[in-house]
Structure 1
């Protein structure tokens, strides 16, 4: 008998018909003798509907009350799914995040899970029940309802699996696994049978939206086997697990990309110790995440400093940078929101040289100019003009033979 935690996203539970289909799937797993915990998101569109209601009341709603409001979306789903399971003859019980004691910090709208008391759930499982838990939410030490941020139901599921020492955490979504890249951009993209936590984390951080980054971090930290599956068709999906000994066979696991990039450059900055902090410190204090950074040294004791941020943060970052430029006596500030990031990811890079140079060679052959480069042990990322996104992804996919299964 296995203990399985399953997570179903908003699309999977987007209507009562789909909720009933999920109930049928959960019933099959339970009928096979498994203990099953189900974590669900709000029905697709529900969170946006609730946000719109709040905006009709006030342009700046309280973060605490927004969490109270948004957490109701998942509460609807857990009740409906439990009802659907009852109708199939299954003993199911629903719980909000607070009821299963998912304890978080007090950062409303982006809380982090601190602890889960799994005893209540274990007692239900031992009694033969299916447990249905609201994703995306918890409570802080004062009992306030908190939410985990967009995609937080993935994190809830992985955290529940870790707390219960589950055999597997299954993430059911609208895709049937993790692909070498987005099939909508490269039709020859291939579904991966397995991928490591490290690779999945790098893919997620580089733009792949299959899994939420924090859920992958959690799974890797607690070694929770994670499987991505389709809610709408049968299949084995993709297993995300620890690095395998024969990992040298695959040089590259996949290509991720992000359209949500923006680049800022401050030119003619006096070149002295601490200037990087003077530029990026105020950006960080505004809670704006910086990704890639390049600093060039000029001949006149000045430097040009370029970095990227999320496109949504561009305007705020630009305002801050203009103030910094005035303080430093910099020559000018430039910005560009028509760029994209493309990243090659693979643990096999550790044992294979020339990955980066082959990447640059393939892009150069297509006359794709690289504006910025960033490397890590298992990832090479480049910034290019957004008009080259699809061509760049397809070129690299072919250059590294990602459409072929390696022996």
Structure 2
């Protein structure tokens, strides 16, 4: 008997008919003798509908109240799925995040899980029930409802799998695995049989929408076997696992990630003195805005131009904060661009191969694509380009690294 945590996203539970199909799938697993914990998202479109309702009440909705509002989406799904399971003679019980004691910090809209109480779930499993848990949510020390941010149901599922020491965490979605890049952009993108936690972490952080980054962090930290599967098509999916040190040869590049939701901000003519980076980014960080890529250029007159990128949704707030800081520092001007995109190549094989970045830059140059910012790490190279060239860049890189070819030994 195995303990499996299964997560179903918004499109998987988007209609009553689909919820009933999920109930059939869960029942089949239960009849095999496995213990099952199911984590679900809100029905597709529901979270956006709730956000719109909130914005009709307040121009800038109160974060605490938005979490109270948004958490209701998943509450609908857990009740419906549990009813469907019970109707099929499969005993089940539903819980919201706060009921099952998923404890988080108090960062409304972007909360992080701190602890999960296992006793209630364990008792239900022992009694032969399927446990259905609302994803994306929890509660802080004071009992306030919190949400984990977009894609937070993935994090809920992996955190539950870690807490319960599950045998596998299965993420069911509308794709049948992790691909070398988005198949909607590159027709011959290839499904990967497996990918390392490290590579998936980079892919998730760089814009791959298959899994949320915090879910991959949890899985890697606690070595939770993670598998991405299609909700309604049979197949092996993609296994996300530890790096296989016995592998004779890792593929040079595993995938290409990209993110359209980027914005770039620059403050010019900043005095080049110690601590200036902290003075610029400190207020941005305190506003709970995540900064991604950073570049600094020092001019001959001992001033510096400081550029950084943020999520496009945070662009306006970050620019307002930057303009305040620029006045304090005596900077000459601030400028921004919210029509940029980030493209990244990812692969553990980079560790043992030189010239990867050169191949990337050559491929982009041949297409006349200008690189605005470059960032590298041990297993990735990222560039910022104009958004209008994004799909051209992805196709060019996919071809340059021959990602449509199955590497020797895979499968």
Q: Confirm or deny a common fold (TM above 0.5).
A: yes
What is aligned with 2:304?
A: 303
**CA–CA distance in structure 2, aligned partners of residues 320 and 97 of structure 1:** 34
Contact (CA 8 Å) 2:39, 2:153: kept in 1 or not? Answer: yes
Structure-2 change in CA distance of 1:270 and 1:60 (3 Å): closer
Q: Structure 1 residues 360 and 28 mapped into 2: Cα distance closer, same or farther (>3 Å)? A: same
Structure 1 residue ranges, 4+ long, deviating more than 6 angstroms after superposition:
none
* Alpha-carbon spacing, 1:265–1:64, altered in 2? closer, same or farther (3 Å): closer
Within 2, Cα distance between the matches of 1:51 and 1:338?
A: 24
- Asked if 1 retains the 8 angstrom alpha-carbon contact of 2:250 and 2:348, the reply is no
In structure 1, distance between residues paired with 2:51 and 2:374: 38
2:19 corresponds to 1:19: yes
Note if contact 1:247-1:348 (Cα within 8 Å) is conserved in structure 2.
no
Give 1:135 deviation, angstroms: 1.1
Question: Shift of the alpha carbon at 1:91?
Answer: 1.3
What SS is found at the alignment partner of 1:312?
helix
In terms of mean alpha carbon deviation, does 279-288 or 180-189 score higher? 279-288
1:217 Cα deviation after fit: 0.8
Query: 2 CA distance for matches of 1:148 and 1:224?
Result: 20
User: Is 1:259–2:253 an aligned residue pair?
Assistant: no
In structure 2, the partner of 1:249 is 250
- The residue number in structure 2 matching 1:230 is 230
Query: What is the deviation of 1:310?
Result: 1.7
SS at match of 2:310: strand
Shift in Å, 1:211 = 0.7
Deviation at 1:261, TM superposition (A): 1.4
For 2:162 and 2:120, locate their aligned partners in 1 and report how far apart those are by CA, in whole Å.
Answer: 15
Distance 1:320 1:49 in 2: 29
1:59-70 alignment, distance < 5 Å:
59-70=59-70
Q: Does the Cα contact within 8 Å between 2:200 and 2:216 map onto a contact in 1? A: yes
Shift of the 107–299 alpha-carbon distance from structure 1 to 2, 3 Å rule, reads: closer
Q: Which runs of 5+ in 2 are unaligned?
A: none
CA distance in 2, matches of 1:75, 1:98: 11
Decide which moves more: 239-248 or 380-389.
Answer: 239-248
Cα pair distance change 1:52/1:372, threshold 3 Å: closer
C-alpha distance in structure 2 between counterparts of 1:88 and 1:192, whole Å: 35
Equivalent position SS for 1:146? strand
Residues 366 and 197 (structure 1), Cα distance of their counterparts in 2 relative to 1, 3 Å cut: same
Structure 1 distance, partners of 2:380, 2:399, is 18
Tell me whether 11-20 or 58-67 shows the greater mean CA deviation: 58-67
Q: 2:389 maps to which residue? A: 388
Aligned length: 407
The TM-score with structure 1 as length reference comes to 0.95
Question: Aligned ranges for residues 93-112 of structure 1 at < 5 Å?
Answer: 93-112=93-112
Q: Does the C-alpha gap of structure 1 residues 69 and 315 become closer, same or farther in structure 2, counting only changes over 3 Å?
A: closer
How large is the RMSD of aligned CA atoms in angstroms? 1.7
Per the alignment, in what secondary structure is the counterpart of residue 13 of structure 2?
coil
Matched, 1:89 2:95: no
Structure 1 residues 247 and 189, CA, compared in 2 at 3 Å: closer, same or farther? Answer: farther
Structure 1 residues 298, 54: CA separation in 2 closer, same or farther (over 3 Å shift)?
A: closer
Mapping 1:199-348, distance limit 5 Å: 199-245=199-245, 246=247, 248-348=249-349
Distance 1:84 1:247 in 2: 48
Shift of 1:44: 1.4
The Cα shift of 1:185 comes to: 0.7
Pair 1:318–1:148, CA change in 2 (3 A): closer
Task: Report what 2:187 is aligned to.
Answer: 187
